[in-house]
A and B are shown apart, each in its own frame.
Chain A
Amino acid sequence: MTTTGAAAARRPVDRSPTRRENTGISDGSASNHGPETVLLGFTRALRAAGVAVTQDRAQGYLAAVALLGLDDQRATYHAGRATLCASPDDLARYDQVFEAWFGSRDGLPRTRPAQQRTTLLSQLPQSERDGDADGETALDDVVRARASDTEVLRHRDVAGLTAAEKQRLAAMFASLRPRAPQRRTARHRAWHRGDVDASRTLRASLRRMGEPADIAWRRRGVRPRRVVLLVDVSGSMSGYADALLRLAHRFTQAGRDAGGPAGMVETFTVGTRLTHLTRALRQPDADRALVAAGEAVPDWSGGTRLGETLQVFLDRWGRRGMARGAVVVVFSDGWERGEPTLLAEQMACLHRIAHRVVWVNPHRGKAGYEPVQQGVVAVLPHVDHFVAGHSLATYAELVEVVAGA
C-alpha cells in the first residue's frame, strides 16, 4: 500500500523551484510546478501512503515551510514531520515518502524492499527464516511461514465450515453482547446512602447561609475497565482468525454502543509482528471492518513468535498504561516457535501489570486435549482464566468471563 502509493506519486523534484528540471513527470503537465503544487503534491503522496493528512494539516505544513524557507531541505523535512505526522508509525512512512518525493536518486522503481516499513512494527530478528528451517516444526507450518515473509495477504476459510455455514455464523456473531468489566474509581458519586459527603453537605448548607440541613451521601463510582485483545494470526491459528476478528469486532462495537470512551477496547494481532487493529475494527459494519483489518495485518498465517511480539506489545503499549488494570485476553494455541522462557517471562510481566489475563485456546475444548505444548506450559502459571475458543458457544462463555473479570 505504502510503497505503491509512494512510488506512483514519485516525481523527481529539485529543492529550489527556480531551477527545477522536468524529468519523468507522469501526469503530462510537464511545465513548471509552483512550490505549493510540489508541497501539496507531497502531502497527497503521503496520504496515499496511509498517513492521515487532512486539509488543515497540509495548510499548516505550507505555513511552516514558508516560515523556515523553501530552500532548506532539512527544514522542509522537519516541518513536515511536525505538522503532518501524528504518531511514530507515521514518522516511518513519512521518511519513505519524503525520500521518494524529494530525493534525488535516479531510476524507478525505488530499490528499498517493501518489507522495511513493516519491520518497524516489531523487533523481529533477521534470522526468522533460519529459525524456521531447523527444529521440530511440521512441514506444513514451514511452508506457511515461508509464504508469510513475502508478506502476501491471505484470506482464509474458517476451518471445517462451508461458505453458507460461515455466512450464517457471521450473522450469529451479532448475537454476542459483550459487556465491559467494571472497576471502582477514585472519584465518588452522589448516592442515597453510603459515606457522608462532607463537602457537598457543607456546600448545600452554605447555600442556606450556613443552616445545617440534609446530609448528602456518596459512594465510589464505577467505570468500565479497558479490555485488550491480543489475537494470534499465525499459521496454526489461521482457521480461527476470521472468527476471532469478528469476535474482536463485536467487543469493539459493544464498547462504543455502551457509550464508553474510545479506547476501552483495544485489539492487536500477534504473530511475527504486532499490529494495532483497533482503528480498523471501529467500523460498524463487520465485513468492512474485517476487510480493513485484513489490509492492516502484514503477517497473516505466518510463524509464531509470541514471546517477542508480546514483548513488543508490553514495551510499546502495555507497560505505558494500556495493559495496566486492564483485562487482557490472549487468543492463541500456544504454538511457540521462539524461546518458551521469553514467553513465560513476558506473560509473567503482563500478569503483574494487568488486572486479569484470560488465555483462549481453540484446542482446549476438543476431546483429548492436553496442555502440553511448550508455549502453553510456559504461560499457564501466569493466566487467570484458561478457556476454550473454537465455537460460538465458547465465545459466548468468554464474553461472560470478560464481563465478570
Chain B
Amino acid sequence: MEPQSTRVPVGDPDSADDVAARLRATGYLCDDALATVTFLALRMQRPLLLEGEPGTGKTALAEAIAETLGLPLVRLQCYEGIDATQALYDWDFPRQILHLRALEAAGASGLAGADDGPNTVAEAEKSLYDERFLLARPVLAALQQSPAVLLVDEVDRADDEFEAFLLEVLSTYQVSIPELGTVRASVPPVVVLTSNRTRELHDALKRRCLYHWIEHPGLEREVEIVRSRAPEVSEALGRQVVTLVQQLRDAGDLQKPPGVAETLDWARALQHLGTTELDLATAAATLGALVKYREDAERVRQSLERMLT
C-alpha cells in the first residue's frame, strides 16, 4: 500500500459518485464500475489499465480525467520498436554542436589564455549537458510537469522490453539521467494505460495497475453519450441510430462490431446530410461511417432492410 495521497490538485474527488459527476460534466459518461476504478486509481495512486473493444472510450477517459482535474495530458503512443529515447528523453545533438561551435568561436576571438584551459574545458563539457539541451519525451515530460495525466496508449503494441522499462518508471515515478541526475515527480502523475489486447501484457505490469475492462454501453447510456458528444444531432435521430447499432452489435455476426466512436460518426454523418429520420437510402449511403469491412457492409445492408421496413 502506498502512502496516502500527497496529491492535492484542484479539488480531489472524494467519492466514486463525485468522479462520475465530474466526468459527466466534461461530457464523458461512465458507469459505476468505471467511476469506482477511476476513483481508486486517483486515491491509491496506481496506474489504471483499461482494456476493451476499440471505440469504447479508453483514450477518451484519460482526456476526460485530465480535463476534470485541470491537469495537462501527456500522451505516449506506443508502437512496435519504441524505446527509451522516444519515451523518456534524448539529447539535442544539433544544438549541442551549435553550442560547441559558439564556444569555439568565442574562445578564438577572446584569445583566452592557455593557463585556465582545463577549467574552461570542464565547464564547456558540463555546459553541453545542460537541461536546455534535453529533449523531454512524454514520460519525462509527465514527471517534470506533474501533477499531470500520463496516457500510455496501446501499450500492447510496444515490445516486451519496453514494458519492463515502463514498469520501472511506474513503480518509482523517477528517471535517472546519467549526465544530469535523477528527475523525480514531485507528485506522481495520474497514469492511464490502454490496451487492445493484441497480446497479453506481462503479469508484473498488470500487478502494478488497477484493471478495468470497458464494455460497450447499454442503450440508454449510449443515447446519452450521443446526446452529449454530438448535441447537434436531434434526440429522435440519435435514439434511432443507437437502437440500430445496438441491434447490429447484439446480432454478433459482424467482423468488427461498431464501437461508440462509430456510432457518433454515423450520427454526425446523417446530421450533415440533413436527415431527421433514418431511412433505408440514407442509411445505406452512409454505412461507410459505421462498418469498415466489405462483408460487414453487405450484412448490415441486408439487416437494415429488415430493421427499417
Contacts and interface: CB of A to CB of B under 8 A. Distances in A.
B46 A60 contact: yes
A81 interface: yes
A324 B156 CA distance: 14
Interface residues of A, number: 45
Given A86-B206, A185-B81, A209 B100 contact: yes
A75 B40 CA distance: 10
B112 interface: no
Contacts of B44: 60, 63-64, 67
Contact of B36 (A60, A75, A322): A75
A199 to B, nearest CB: 9
A210 B101 CA distance: 10
Contacts of A314: 255
A187 interface: yes
A78 B40 CA distance: 10
Contact of B81 (A67, A186, A209, A321): A186
Interface stretch (B134-142, B172-180, B192-200, B225-233): B192-200
Interface stretch (A50-58, A172-180, A229-237, A359-367): A50-58
B156 to A, nearest CB: 7
B200 A319 contact: no
Given A59-B1, A86-B211, A263 B199 contact: yes
Contacts of B196: 320-321
A61 B295 CA distance: 45
B93 A81 contact: no
A345 B295 contact: yes
B213 A68 contact: no
A50 to B, nearest CB: 14
Given A57-B207, A68-B16, A86-B206, A319 B256 contact: yes
A366 B297 CA distance: 42
Given A75-B16, A82-B211, A206-B93, A64 B32 contact: no
A210 B207 contact: no
B261 interface: no
A349 interface: yes
A86 B36 contact: no
B252 A82 contact: no
A262 interface: yes
A67 B2 CA distance: 12
A320 B194 CA distance: 14
Nearest to B52: A88
A385 B161 CA distance: 33
Contacts of B16: 68, 75, 78
Contacts of B36: 68, 74-75, 78-79, 82
Nearest to A74: B32
Give chain A's interface secondary structure class.
Answer: helix
Contacts of A263: 160, 199-200
Given A67-B43, A78-B37, A54 B211 contact: no
B33 interface: yes
A263 B159 CA distance: 11
A60 B40 CA distance: 10
Contact of A60 (B1, B37, B39, B197): B1
A300 to B, nearest CB: 24
Contacts of A210: 97, 101
A82 B160 contact: no
Interface string A168-210: 0000000000000000011100000000000000010010011
A78 B33 contact: yes
A373 interface: no
A85 interface: yes
B116 to A, nearest CB: 20
B301 interface: no
Contact of B213 (A62, A63, A91, A186): A91
A56 B210 contact: no
A5 to B, nearest CB: 20
Contacts of A104: none
Contacts of A206: 93, 97
A83 interface: yes
A261 interface: yes
A79 B38 CA distance: 10
Contacts of B198: 317, 320-322, 324
B40 A67 contact: yes
B91 to A, nearest CB: 10
Given A63-B1, A88-B51, A82 B81 contact: no
Contact of B160 (A60, A187, A261): A261
Contact of A64 (B40, B81, B160, B161): B40
A75 B38 CA distance: 12
A227 to B, nearest CB: 13
A82 B212 CA distance: 6
A52 B203 contact: yes
Interface string B21-44: 000000000001100110111011
24 contacts: A54-B207, A56-B207, A60-B210, A62-B1, A64-B40, A67-B39, A67-B44, A81-B211, A82-B210, A82-B212, A87-B51, A91-B213, A123-B252, A206-B93, A209-B100, A261-B161, A262-B202, A263-B160, A316-B197, A321-B196, A321-B199, A345-B295, A349-B255, A349-B295
Given A186-B81, A316-B197, A322-B199, 13 more contacts: A60-B1, A68-B40, A75-B16, A79-B40, A82-B37, A82-B211, A203-B93, A206-B97, A261-B160, A319-B255, A320-B196, A321-B157, A324-B198
Interface of A: 52, 54, 56-57, 59-60, 62-64, 67-68, 74-75, 78-79, 81-83, 85-88, 91, 123, 185-187, 203, 206, 209-210, 261-263, 314-317, 319-322, 324, 345, 349
Interface of B: 1, 16, 32-33, 36-37, 39-41, 43-44, 46, 51, 80-81, 93, 97, 100-101, 156-157, 159-161, 196-200, 202-203, 206-207, 210-213, 252, 255-256, 295
